[in-house]
Amino acid sequence: MKCTSKIRLTSAICAVSVLLSGCAGKSYSYAFDIDNSKSAFSFETSDKNDIVKSFASNFAVVSGDVISGDEVSTGADSYASAILVNADTNEVLFSKNANAKLYPASMTKVMTAIVAVENGNMDQVLTADEECVMTEPDVQKIGLKSGDKMTLDQALHFLLIYSANDVAVMIAKNIGGTTDEFINMMNKKAVELGATNTNFVNPNGLHDENHYTSCYDMYLMFNEAIKSDIITQIINQQTYSTEYTHGDGSTASFSCTNTNRFLKGLIYAPTNITVIGGKTGTTLAAGACLVMLSKDSKGSSYISCVMKGNNIDATYGKTNKMLELIH
């Protein structure tokens, strides 16, 4: 919409334009706010033009299913939801039930990492307390004890490579002050990104009926996560070894392997596709989940997500089927 007398803006837009000093050669952006109608736009101004750009112009928009080939809805190879997006052009190459609310399991840790990187620093020392101690045998953990200390950098490696649930709680308490406040920060960031089918109640993704997201929302959140060089470098690591400090001053050593089967070399991507990394998630309720960043031979980036795969093989198999759509 040009700044001429021939084009009339609505009163609401005019009001904002006046506040932004008209054609002043500046650019203004508004984060998404579900309660603010103006947040759906970013206002860009120049000497000759006033442009009202939609908030959604910065990412892909899913209006319905985009299916390629035969699809399975039941059986061993079934899954509930999937999406594949060219992160450079925002083109949706595949989409099925992308807005369905489902349990994310440990893919939750993508948002945990986003909030931690935005609000902490890598050298910050985190301390575990009793809330961080997990004794359940079937929970992925490094075995934190009250008083254990490590840097945020170490904690993020444990979080994203090994998917340690106890470390997720330690990050939340130290960055947010309390776990509840950190969860508030997670949900606020989700809404800011436009992830309106998402609600978090914990920082690790352990099952709760009120803890959910969607494939499309995971795309939005992961798209934000890979803007961080720190997060992108960590998810690309195959293994990680480090030492941290117990409360009594003694040293604890821990080594781990990435939970991503592509990085483990257990499964291979299609020819000319390189898997950079991602985040896995698995619980009985969530099924097998995987959100991931890949690149083609020209360096273009793609974000894929599969949720509620019937099993791990189904989830990785569907991921590869989507990656085969990249030309």
Closest by CA to 43, choosing from 88, 9, 6, is 9
The catalytic position among 17, 81, 96, 109 is 109
Catalytic residue among 17, 106, 294, 304: 106
Three-point CA angle 234, 240, 244, nearest 5°: 105
Spatial distance between the Cα atoms of 253 and 198, rounded to a whole number of angstroms: 36
In the residue annotation, 106 being an active-site residue is answered as yes
Query: Which is catalytic among the residues 163, 214, 294, 304?
Result: 163
Helix 109-119 and helix 165-176, axial crossing angle in degrees, nearest 10: 30
Active site residue 109: yes
The length of the chain in residues reads 327
- List residues with catalytic annotation: 106, 109, 163
